[in-house]
Amino acid sequence: MIKNNLEFRKDVAFINRQRELSYLAEYINIRPESILFLHGPKSSGKTTLLYRFFQQLEKEQHLDVKFLNLRETFTNVYEDFLKSFFHVEGKGEKKEKLTSDINIGFFKISSTVEKQILEKRADPFKVMKSEFLAANKKGIKPILIIDELQALDRIYINNDKDRHLIIALFNFFVAMTKESHLAHIIIASSDGYFLDTVYNDSKLKKSSSFYKVDYLSKEDVMEWLLNLEKYSKIKDYTLTRGEAEMIWDTVGGSMWEIQDILNERFNKPTDAVLALIKDKMRGMIAHYAEFDEGKRQVLRVIDEKETVRSIDLEKLPIEIPRLKELLRDMVRNNILYFDPTQAVYYPQGRSYRWGIQLFFESLL
Ligand SMILES: Nc1ncnc2c1ncn2[C@@H]1O[C@H](COP(=O)(O)OP(=O)(O)OP(=O)(O)O)[C@@H](O)[C@H]1O
Ligand SMILES: [Mg+2]
């Protein structure tokens, strides 16, 4: 978040995350041994957490932290990847752009090296490694944080279809962590399927750690909602414990939705805001599942259980390839979250659970 002195009726809150920040701090206190994957449902706060962590680290000396947010860079072909990872020194732009949410920190190269890389005479992985090596020699610990790494999926090195960039990058990250212990590598993604591919790659299974960043706990939500002025700078209204409980019951710890409720609450009473959300979610599920019996069958199983394993779905009268396609579609559309470490599916959040439940009730 960019800090400034602008006055608003409501500000962006940041609640707790002590446990997560301590975990990350511990991770970089141990000599690099594995890649760390942060996963978690859509909008569970992964990027925000990483920015916070980055801000903490910035104050520390003897660290060289690079933060690449690939969602914000257009990565389509190999040259885009080079542009998002490398930066030619002295090419006009400031080397670090803290005032914007763009990438913070690149591998710095000279224009000669850039030319060599583009002409395929220099290997970008060697360039990264030599920067890590140089930092280590100076007593500086390199930390590379990459958000939304799946943006690089489907990119090929030098556009050669046999050389998948992600695979090459992972091999490189394994070499940098598990094998030569030169740098810490932290990767975040909300694409459970992408991480699953990573997880199932036998080479990575033993060389990566997974850490889940989830929505806020009930305790955190209550603390936030009962202290709106402290956390969100809201002076216009306060919420009763009963209202806070109702909000938790509707959207759980989903911060993005809580923010939305707080915005709406300026104009409407809490129960009206929550009724609208539930109805919106029901409508969204109805629209998603219309004309598709297969989707409804899967959602019915989801409605009946907290979490669903693929084995629970195999009993449905749906061919396996079609079932896989349906699940993929639900994950891609952020209706279900797929937890790659447990191999289970569940609704992205409490409001989705409401949407599914109310949709089936409306059919009765
Ligand atoms: N600790 C927190 N307290 C309050 N609000 C938070 C917190 N962390 C994140 N948020 C808010 O939740 C929303 C989603 O956060 P963020 O974009 O970091 O999630 P994400 O997991 O990276 O999402 P995506 O899955 O899209 O990558 C943002 O509006 C952010 O301001
Ligand atoms: Mg994110």
Question: Taking the domains of the chain in order of start, what are their residue ranges?
Answer: 18-212, 282-363
Classify domain 18-212 at the CATH superfamily level. Answer: P-loop containing nucleotide triphosphate hydrolases (3.40.50.300)
Atom of ligand 1 nearest to the CA of 254: 12
Query: Rounded to whole angstroms, what are the CA distances from 91 to 88, 101, 109, 110?
Result: 6, 20, 10, 9
pLDDT surpassing 50 at residue 294: yes
pLDDT surpassing 80 at residue 200: no
Provide the pLDDT for residue 220: 98
In contact, 176 and 3? CB cutoff 8 Å: no
12 touches ligand 1 (CB under 6 Å): yes
**CA 74 to chain CA mean position, Å:** 17
Query: Rounded to whole angstroms, what are the CA distances from 189 to 45, 72, 303?
Result: 11, 14, 26
CA-nearest residue for atom 14, ligand 1, is 43
What tokens does 99 get? 């005032």
For residue 318, count other CB atoms closer than 10 A to its CB. 18
Select from 1.10.10, 3.40.50, 2.60.40, 1.10.940 the CATH code of 282-363. Answer: 1.10.10
The pLDDT of 138-162, averaged and rounded, is 89
pLDDT surpassing 80 at residue 103: no
Q: How far apart are CA 202 and CA 209, in angstroms?
A: 13
Q: Which residues share a beta bridge with 108?
A: 87
For residue 202, count other CB atoms closer than 10 A to its CB. 8
Q: How far is the CA of 14 from the centre of ligand 1 (A)?
A: 9
pLDDT surpassing 90 at residue 28: yes
pLDDT surpassing 50 at residue 15: yes
In contact, 313 and 298? CB cutoff 8 Å: yes
| SS3 call for 105 | coil
| SS3 call for 60 | coil
28 touches ligand 1 (CB under 6 Å): no
Provide the pLDDT for residue 4: 62
Pocket test for ligand 1, best of 3, 19, 47, 257 (most atoms within 8 A of CB): 47
Q: Looking at 43-47, 157-161, 196-200, which range is the least confident one?
A: 196-200
Say which residue the tokens 């992408």 belong to.
194
39 touches ligand 1 (CB under 6 Å): no
Would 18-212 and 282-363 be classified into the same CATH topology? no
